[in-house]
Amino acid sequence: MYHRLILLALAGLALTSCEPTERTAVTKREEPKKDAAEQSPQDAPQTTVQTPVNTESPQQTAEQPTEQPAAQTEPAELVKQQEPQQTPPEADPTPTPAVAADASASLLSVALTVQDYNRMMPWEKQSASTSRLNGVYLGNGKVLTLGSALATANYVEISLPDSSRTVPARVLRYDTDLNLGLLVVDNEEDATIFETRAALELDEPMNRASKAQLWCTLNGTQSASINLQGEIGTTDRGLPRLQMRADQAVPGNYSHGAPVVVDGKLAGLSAGYNSAARQLKVINAELIGRFLNADADAPKGVPVMGVSMAELTDPVFRRYLKLSDDRTGVYVSDVQPMGAAAAAGLKKGDVLTSVEGLKIDNRGRCELPLYGMVDVATAVRYLKPLGQTIQFTYCRDGQEQNVVLALNRDAEEKALIRTETPGVAPRYLVWGGLVFQPLSSNYLDALKAEAKALPIEFMRLNDQEDELQKRGFKELTALTIIVPTKATLGYDTCQFAMVEKVNGTEPHTFDEFVTLLKAPTESGMVELSLNKPPYRIYMESSAAEAANDELRRAGILRLQRLSEQE
């Protein structure tokens, strides 16, 4: 019955909508648009699992590739031959490097059962789904695979490519920004599954002219080596990737997490495939090395500067900034108060001219030796990991200066609208039929997918962030949906609003909001101030409690989760 209540609430949605504006580098990461033909683990359709899964306790955090349609008939040339395919010398004088060892012996299969929380109705989980991708044996009982789906995986298995043996696995660690994860067997006695596997040693990073082989299995029984040619650099998850062209089509989902091999060593990991162009997006060896060499307790993710930047191609604007014709750089149009750039003293109006000695052009790009031209934000995320420092040269009032930034993620982690960790239980409170949640980018993404547009009241918060932080807000509490009850009659248009005050007091965190809401008043009445009409709503605490009992009988058994660990 409560599902009908929620649907009724959503059906009455009347949003004043507009296209979302870009948040600064701070709160929303710049992601390249995906080619319609590109198949990545996160974009592929998933298979729904009918078996019930525990919806209360988050399981071992774990990447989310999904099953792609099965390949049709594998072309005969894909089946592994006695010798790897070579590019004819007359077509290309640079020979394809020989594979010194049969990399197929390092291949494994990884199966995931994935189930994240429902951000719109946070007391329940989404339908479970299954997915499968490749794993690469590194030795010492460790398997390397893609990391993005591990965050929401409830159950993980490792299999031999022919499926002759399958054992439970657990996630040792993962990083969704680097898109890499490490698995080990869940039971020590199952480590014998690796007896027939050969470890791949990590190689030097490739460049745009490199040639390599993609190794994968076909139908779980045969292995294939597909020749790759490096082409250009691209960006994924805010990090540079190599884009490599396959000399033949890669069937089905055999590319996801498959090793890219040069001279029998692991030079990269495939993280996406554009079937129309036969292009693979490859995580290069230096980023794999960064992940493997990081301490177990090292912070996850990549650095975020906390600035917005604009090109300097307008000659009039350049003269206004007192820039000589021979000086290039990118204009700092905004600085996030809580970010690394602000902490280092950068200000709006500064012109960044170089980073770590790499010259920045007027379009805000610098050249990385392996990848070519990338934007400054990508270079910062790539050049050094969290916890280190990075040096910028910048121009202010015509004078050149140097500054050192301490690399962190404060611009995202201290933002008012931040990203919650996938797979971690969201906080919420259902009170009398009013559903309250801390406003997160995860929730906004789910709302936009459901309603096709965001409420104007939420969009305006982008421009109000500095003001709200000055007023002491550390996170924002949103009234998200209205479940029809006797206590919420007439309030159906109040959903999708920020709670500005509770009984006249600003709640600067979600915990403060809960405390203020539950604090007794002389009249027993609670006043909520919102950022949209009617701006104030009222509810008696006794009426809210009676409605809570009604909701429990309707099937919402858990009316609050005030901690991610609950």
Same domain? For 514 and 476 the reply is yes
Residue that finishes a domain, picked among 243, 273, 298: 298
Residue that finishes a domain, picked among 353, 382, 412: 412
55 lies in a domain? yes
Same domain? For 385 and 449 the reply is no
408 lies in a domain? yes
**Count of CA atoms in the C-beta half-sphere (13 A) of 557:** 3
Per-residue pLDDT tens listing for the chain (566 residues): 444 445 444 444 444 444 443 333 333 333 334 443 444 444 443 444 433 333 333 333 333 444 343 333 343 333 333 344 444 444 344 444 433 357 889 999 999 999 999 999 999 999 999 998 999 999 999 999 999 889 889 999 999 988 899 999 999 999 999 999 999 999 999 999 999 999 999 999 999 999 999 998 766 666 778 999 999 899 999 999 999 999 998 876 678 999 999 999 999 999 999 999 999 999 999 999 999 999 888 888 999 999 999 999 999 998 888 888 888 999 999 999 889 999 999 999 999 999 999 999 999 999 999 999 999 999 999 999 999 999 999 999 888 999 999 999 999 999 999 988 888 899 999 999 999 999 999 999 999 999 888 999 999 998 898 899 999 999 999 999 999 999 999 999 999 999 999 999 999 999 999 999 999 999 999 999 999 999 999 999 999 999 999 999 998 989 999 987 77
Same domain? For 92 and 224 the reply is yes
Query: Which residue type occupies 177?
Result: D
Q: What is the CATH number of the domain that holds 552?
A: 3.20.190.20
Query: Rounded to an integer, what distance in angstroms lies between the CA atom of residue 119 and that of residue 174?
Result: 23
Same domain? For 80 and 216 the reply is yes
Does residue 531 contact residue 518 with C-beta atoms inside 8 Å?
Answer: no
Does residue 147 contact residue 176 with C-beta atoms inside 8 Å?
Answer: yes
Same domain? For 385 and 337 the reply is yes
Residue closest to 322 by CA, chosen among 403, 394, 396:
396
Please give the DSSP secondary-structure letter assigned to residue 371: T
Q: What does pTM read for this prediction?
A: 0.79
**Count of CA atoms in the C-beta half-sphere (13 A) of 170:** 9
Same domain? For 443 and 376 the reply is no
- For the stretch 458-494, what's the b/e string if a residue is b when 16 or more beta carbons lie within 10 angstroms of its beta carbon? bbebbeebeebbeeebebbbbbbbbbbbebbeebbeb
CA 64 from chain centre, in angstroms, equals 11
**Count of CA atoms in the C-beta half-sphere (13 A) of 77:** 8
State the Rg of the chain over Cα. 26
Tell the residue number behind the tokens 């390949």, with chain if given.
71
What is the domain extent for residue 381?
Answer: 307-412
So what's the pLDDT on residue 101?
53
Tell me the CA distances in angstroms from 161 to 106, 108, 165, 196, 476, one per residue in order: 10, 5, 9, 11, 48
Residue closest to 45 by CA, chosen among 112, 131, 115:
131
Q: Which residues contact 90 (CB under 8 A, 6 or more apart)?
A: none
Same domain? For 473 and 551 the reply is yes
Tokens coding 83: 């010798």
So what's the pLDDT on residue 63?
39
| Tally of structural domains, the chain | 3
10 lies in a domain? no
15 lies in a domain? no
Indicate the SS3 state at residue 14: coil
Same domain? For 361 and 478 the reply is no
Residue closest to 258 by CA, chosen among 399, 371, 141, 103:
103
333 lies in a domain? yes
So what's the pLDDT on residue 438?
96
Q: Which residues contact 506 (CB under 8 A, 6 or more apart)?
A: 471, 472, 473, 500
Same domain? For 155 and 221 the reply is yes
Same domain? For 556 and 504 the reply is yes
12 lies in a domain? no
Same domain? For 329 and 183 the reply is no
27 lies in a domain? no
Count other Cβ atoms within 10 Å, centred on residue 49: 16
Residue closest to 422 by CA, chosen among 5, 67, 112:
112
Spell out where 445-522 has E strands: 454-455, 477-482, 497-502
Residue closest to 172 by CA, chosen among 302, 291, 303, 40:
291
So what's the pLDDT on residue 335?
93
So what's the pLDDT on residue 222?
67
Q: What is the CATH number of the domain that holds 245?
A: 2.40.10.120
Residue that finishes a domain, picked among 363, 378, 412: 412
So what's the pLDDT on residue 84?
41
Query: Which residue type occupies 7?
Result: L
Tell me the CA distances in angstroms from 506 to 73, 498, 525, 534, one per residue in order: 63, 11, 17, 18
